[in-house]
Structures are given as C-alpha cells and as structure tokens.
Amino acid sequence: MNILCVIPARGGSTRVPGKNLRLVAGRPLLAHSIEHALQSTSVDRIVVSTEDPAIAEVSARWNAEVIRRPVELATDTASSELALLHVLDFLLAKEGWVPDLVVFLQCTSPVRTPGDIDRAVRLLNEGAADSLFSATASHEFIWRRENGSLRSLNYDHRARHRSQDHPEEFRENGSIYIFKPWVLRQFNNRLGGRIVVYPMDYWSAFQVDHPEDLILVDWILREAVGSGGRLSLPTRPSLVVFDFDGVMTDNRALVTSDGREAVFCDRGDGLGIERLVRTGIPVLVLSSEVDRVVEVRCAKLKLPCLQGIADKWAVLGAYLAEKSYRPEDVIYVGNDMNDVECLKRVGWGVVVSDAHREARRAARIVLRNQGGHGAVRELCDLILAEADGGSC
C-alpha cells in the first residue's frame, strides 16, 4: 500500500501564538509528529501542509516534504479537511499520484509511542475499515446545559452506577486519523464508511490548546511516556562538536585588574566528556575566542580545539571534509547566533537551555540544563544512553 502522512501546521494561532514552533520536550511541537511518522514502517511519504515560511523551514530540516497551503486555507475558520483535500489535489495534479491511505497527524496532540501509527494502520486493514480515529477510554459522566437547566447525557443521574460499570465510551484524542482518500472526497470529512477506533493510553488525551498545555505536555513527553518522549540522538555520532563560551562555561568571565580572565565550568561536564571519549567517539571544541583559558581547559580534558574562528561553519565544514565525516552524522552544541549555521548544517544541532532565541530556532534539540551548569554532561549521558541501547 502507498501510505501518505499529512501534518497540517499553520502559522497563525490565536490562543497560543507560534504554537507549532514552540519548544516542547526539547524540540518544536511540529517535530514530534514528523518524528513519529518517520519512525513508522507503514508510512511511505510525509507532507507538512503550511502557509508559514518558518514552519516550512523547520519541516524541511526535520526531513518532511512541504506543500505550501493557500493563505485562505490557513485561517482560524478553515477546516483541517480543506488542508487535507488541498494536499491530495496538489499531488494528483502535479504527479498523478493517489495514496491508498492517508494518515492524518495533528501537531497539537503529540503524545504517541513509536508503534502507534503502525498498529493503527494494521487495525484499519484487519478490520476492513475505511477510516479510523484514535481515542482514550472514557468513564466520565457528561452533563449538558439546555434551556437554562442541566441534563445528564450519557447516564441517568437518578440511577447512578459506578464509573467502572459505565458502558464503553471513547473520547477522540486528536492524535491519529486514517482514511481512504475517497472517504474525504465523498463525505468532506476525515471519517466515513466503516469506522474503527484505535484505543490509546491516558496520557495521549492531553493536547496543546492553551499556553499552560505546553508545560504539561512537555512534562508528559519527558517524564510520563518513557522512550516516546526521550530526546532522540544517533546511536553512534561520527563527531561531537562543542562551542566553548556559553556551553562549556556559563558565559561569564571573571576579569582581574591585570587583564587576566577566568571562567566557570562544571566538573560533571568534564566527567561526561571523559566517559564519551572513552567510547571512541571523537570530540572537538570550536571557539570564536582566542583565550588561554580555552586552551588550558581543553588540554586538561585532552580535547582538540580550534580557536579564533570567525566563520564557524566554514572551518567546521572543511574539517568534516578533511576527516571524511558526513555532516548528517555530526552533533554540534552551541548557544548563540554565531552557532546558527553549524546548528542548521549538521544532522543534530543541539543548544543549551539558555541559548539565544535564534540558536534555539535552528536546533533540533534543546537541553534542560544551562551552559556551564551541566548541559554538556546531560548531552554526554544522552549519547551514551543511545549507544547503550536507548536506556536512560
């Protein structure tokens, strides 16, 4: 089967401005859905539908195709169905291509496990269904206000039963929809024909609709869903590159009256680098400053260091070519605007939590810790966990 994944992601959002690019669990909200689609063995093609240039740029950086949506299909009142139809019409007109199934992922419902999409596709096929929605089981007692009075909808309040005895009900969680293209065209709806439900766990019900939801979903992805929220890194990067100031230090300098400088580093960072180097993964420090303190620190950690670099990517790109390292296998850790080009060009751009906003926008992963306060150790531990089979 040819299976297309469509992820609509418009730039405008009234309740949460810039929602789809807001950082959640270390990466843009949109990126979680792209990653889930990339992890699926069922999905053949991933398309992000957007009218927003910044979203288009991030989507491409995360290896999704981009189809530019007309502005009139990206308003508050435009339905997702219109965006989905636009993608299908575009692919039909340009390529004569019609998928067998469409997997529709909503960025605002990013709590999924890696196997959810494949299991949902299998459920639809085995059930000979035409469309599917994901949902969580509901045992709630629902009331509605009608004509100034309240009415119990899904139970009789005069004969209350236990919640565990409540008839099986499902609440759409907005995470996964799957449909055959004819369903969308015939019903102008993502659901039609024979419909089946794909049950998901409790945490999947949480969505990003309000600013405070960003904090909650961040916690769920990092802490509650295990590997589904773990920051993913290559199991064996060919090279890890660290900026110095603001990454290996807290970006402060202590200047004495005779002009000497001192910086603050984290001893745990040094231990993390030592463990990383012992695995045989090459490490490089790249600094725009020429300072004795950089040289001394790198010598203590036994790390090669390139200093006084005005154009970091020009130097790093030449270094990668000389060593025959592919940029997509490289991790670069930075914190400021002079790191942006490197963050974009390598496969895994990483920034510390207190990085400049432009650096954060260019990164794939934002660490929890600040520069000079354990960020380097955090990354080293993540890399070592991946190399050890993904257990943190």
Q: CA nearest 227: which of 144, 327, 113?
A: 113
CB 171 within 8 A of CB 184: no
Whether the per-residue pLDDT at 48 is higher than 80: the answer is yes
Domain 3-142+164-229 classification at class level: alpha beta
**Percent of the chain, pLDDT > 90?**
58
**Percent of the chain, pLDDT > 70?**
96
Judged by average pLDDT, the poorest of 149-153, 182-186, 348-352, 366-370 is 366-370
Question: Per-residue pLDDT averaged across 282-307, rounded?
Answer: 89
Predicted confidence at residue 322, as pLDDT, reads 95
Q: What share of the chain is helix, strand, coil (3-state, %, to 5)?
A: 40, 20, 40
Whether the per-residue pLDDT at 280 is higher than 70: the answer is yes
Question: CATH 3.40.50.1000 region(s) of the chain?
Answer: 239-387
Report the alpha-carbon distance of residue 28 to residue 317 in Å, rounded.
26
- Helix residue ranges per DSSP H, 127-241: 181-187, 211-219
Instruction: Give the pTM.
Output: 0.67
Predicted confidence at residue 234, as pLDDT, reads 75
Q: Which fold has domain 239-387?
A: Rossmann fold (3.40.50)
Res. 390 pLDDT band, cuts 50 70 90: very low
Whether the per-residue pLDDT at 141 is higher than 50: the answer is yes
Q: CA nearest 176: which of 221, 131, 216?
A: 131
pLDDT mean across residues, the chain: 89
Max Cα distance, the chain (Å): 85
Question: Per-residue pLDDT averaged across 203-230, rounded?
Answer: 80
Question: CATH 3.90.550.10 region(s) of the chain?
Answer: 3-142+164-229
